[in-house]
Amino acid sequence: MTTAPRLLLMSGRVRSIVSRLPRGIGQDHMAQMSSSSSSSSSSPPPSSLPSSQPPSYSSGLRGSPGGVDVKALLQEEDTAEDGSVRDDKHESSVLLFPGQGSQFVGMAASLVERHERARALFDAARRVLGYDLLALCLDGPAEQLNRTLHCQPAVFVTSLAALEALHEDEPEAIENCKVAAGFSVGEFAALVFAGAMDFSEALYCVQKRAEAMEAASSRGPPHGMLSVSARHAFRPTAACQEAREHCLSHCLSATAAGTAERVAEPVCLVASYLCPDVRVLAGHVQALEFVQRHARRLHVVRTRRLPVSGAFHTPLMAPAQEALAQALGRVTVRKPSVRVYSNVTAHPYTSVGQVRNLLVRQLVEPVLWEQTMHAVFDRRDRLDAGDEPEPRRGSKGGDSDGGGGGPRRFPRVYEAGPGKQLGSALRACNAKAWSRYRAVDVGPRNDSRAEEEE
């Protein structure tokens, strides 16, 4: 098969999100949606979605111009048998999308100043959401931007605006992309890039997800998330079990009547396997405080409470699942045209049903980010997605393909979104990947600000 058809197809796949927004976003349907939405910043998302569906990044692939067998082309040139990155004579790339906690006041400033298409995405988002998301990103206040209700749509749209900027500045990074992965809500941005969802409908789902997660966060005794940097001897499952047992026998929580009662079913679980020796725990605040108090005994070096209001990726988010499932049931979902790795399985999505199912499961199951990074970048390290994966510390992830096929060029890695959230985790997982990593500039920020993971 010649190179020319492949380049033609890839060029079709990566046409701008903005240039391919449906008529329902920028024109007729947007006017209808705008008229049905309040101009207030607190107005709800539109109650109905545009009927027309936008051709997405993947439409060039799906169109099969010139009679090319697109499915065979993708299988032949893009997919290795073990699911890892395969390079061809073009330098390949991997796209990563951050999650909640990467947001900061001022993000997207450089994007909307330099890229008209990035601003157009925020214009479309304002009509879908019913409030001015760009103003919130640029000017805050931080208390509102950091709310789950607002920061998830903000991170999602800013990430795709960064993708537009990358597309204009380095189109080859998009054209030669083989793999995409997103951390938590970032997975929606990865799926939009891969053509599995359309921008307007994915944003609708993100908004419903954020609303439901914020509501779930206010139920019962206070809960939250704790980032834990630990020695190799740290056993997170055992530590969480000990914290739950402590809460069961010692912890009290205030009731609506002003009395105190024991936490009947305390929760403390691993919410994210971020990178070697770094885990994010989530659960009831009193259980997290137990881990902090006993850090030295548990072989914990450093802890940091994350500025989120709930125990995301634990069963405490179960009340949010129905709302997200209903939203996903209302929108069109397609099989991704580029490999997108699921947070739940650390494997690529293989079907439409799997996309819908795993996005809902993701709310209550841990993010297997470390396992995903190894699966993408290191063929020799197939981490088990079990409870206590054994990390490869600082894997070099060399240039050999590991199968006797000779040297291969290591892919470039781009983080499209605010906060440079994923760089330090990537460095700990794979030093070679980190050496090829670049975060797309989204605007001014205080670089001393600690990275915060959802």
Give the residue numbers marked as catalytic. 184, 313
Place of tokens 């330099």: 114
List all residues 6 or more positions away from 289 whose beta carbon is below 8 Å from its beta carbon: none
CA 128 to CA 140: how far, in whole Å? 20
Cβ count near 388 (within 10 Å):
12
Query: How many CA atoms are closer than 13 Å to the CA of 444, on its beta-carbon side?
Result: 4
Q: Is the dihedral of CA 124, 191, 279, 222 positive or negative?
A: positive
DSSP letter for each residue of 107-123: TTHHHHHH-HHHHHHHH
Task: Let me know if 74 is exposed, middle or buried by CB neighbors in 10 A (0-12, 13-18, 19+).
Answer: middle
Determine if the peptide bond prior to 221 is cis (ω within 30°). Answer: no
Q: For the chain, what is the total number of helices (H) and then of strands (E)?
A: 20, 11
Task: Identify the three-state secondary structure at position 231.
Answer: coil
Q: What are phi and psi of 281, to 5 degrees?
A: -95, 150
